[in-house]
Copies of this chain bind each other. A is one copy, B any other.
Amino acid sequence: MLRLRELADHLGVSTATVSRALNDKPGVSAETRRKVVAAAQEMSYRPNAAARALITATTRTVVFAVHRHHFPLSVDPFYPGIMRGLEETLAAEHYGVLLLTLSDEDLRAGPGTLPVLQEGRADALVAAGPDIPPQFILAAAGRSMPVILVDNALRETAIPTVTADDPGGCRDATRHLIDIHGHRSIALLRGTPGWVSSDGRADGYCDAMKAAELEPRVVSVEDTTIATGAVALIEVLEAWPDTTAIVAVNDAMAIGAIRQAAKLSRRVPEDLAVVGFDDISWAALSDPPLTTVRVPIVQIGRRAGRVLLDHFEDVITVSSRTTLATELIVRSSCGCDESPAPVMNSSGPRRHETDHE
């Protein structure tokens, strides 16, 4: 491998000059800079990352951390999609993304035991998903490593966050059932409380119901899978037999509900309208095709990347909580015969952010 020294000797200048020329630092004449850049290009010189990292204390690497059981999710490549978005935008600036899958053990032991986070191998941590415990996140943030959360949020902290507009998306979906199809008896199938996405979606449902002066009907179950979706539907129909429409906090539960409805010989959407959330790839392929709320998975990752790049560029940000718009994807499981043009989330793209300096 060609070293800086050799390039400098070849040009008859000092390493200092070459370094400054290549890094766009002042103190080099335009003429010299041109020559240096040309020679570097010509001889295909690449700076050694380790040497640079040693002195700049910066690695151009960020860690993407996610619960091991959720990468990928059994049913959907949600976090891989986010990671890909992150990698796309960071790679453009020559940053790399390290994957770190966390076992339950790791989460209990905290970030102190993870070499990747401890040996100065990364400049920042992107923690994905609501099941990374706050104490883990705070411990990582405490070690003066920038942390940013995706598909998660922590109240009472200044930790930057990128999420989808869960409340808005679920509000739109619920409203669609109320306004377009005239449903009055709409139940929510939700998962584990405490997860920000589930909570946000539940809030959106309740908002829409209350705005229409309807009584919310909520069933909570552990986990948000096809199996629990089926169970939740049974509970709903026992508690409120007159229910005509279902909002599920994710597509897996919605599909579970649809399958359970078939077993109970309730036709979807004639007897029971169903809408989901996420727009996983199989939503379009279920029978009937599932009306759902698309979350901009890759864009979440991209935006997280942008936030980080701003941070590295010394754009000092006091607080940064980004919410990305969702999109209602209308298919036939809600009773719409043919798909009209997609309806944008009424709240539109939003970014709550306070930039300073």
Contact = CB atoms under 8 A, between A and B. Distances in A.
A71 to B, nearest CB: 5
B101 A87 contact: yes
Contact of A49 (B112, B121, B226, B285): B121
B48 A51 contact: no
Given A54-B51, A281-B75, A99 B120 contact: no
Interface residues of A, number: 50
A64 B60 CA distance: 17
A80 B46 CA distance: 30
A152 to B, nearest CB: 19
A350 interface: no
A44 interface: yes
A116 B96 contact: yes
A99 B119 contact: no
A94 interface: yes
B80 A94 contact: no
A119 to B, nearest CB: 4
A68 B84 contact: yes
Interface string A59-89: 1110010001001111111011101100110
A96 B98 contact: yes
Given A54-B50, A119-B48, A88 B101 contact: yes
A1 B94 contact: no
3 pairs of A and B residues whose beta carbons are closest in the complex? A72-B77, A50-B53, A80-B80
A118 interface: yes
Contact of A120 (B48, B80, B94, B281): B48
B54 A48 contact: yes
A115 B94 CA distance: 6
Contacts of A80: 71-72, 77, 79-80, 83
A312 interface: no
Interface string A231-250: 00000000000000000000
A47 interface: yes
Nearest to A51: B54
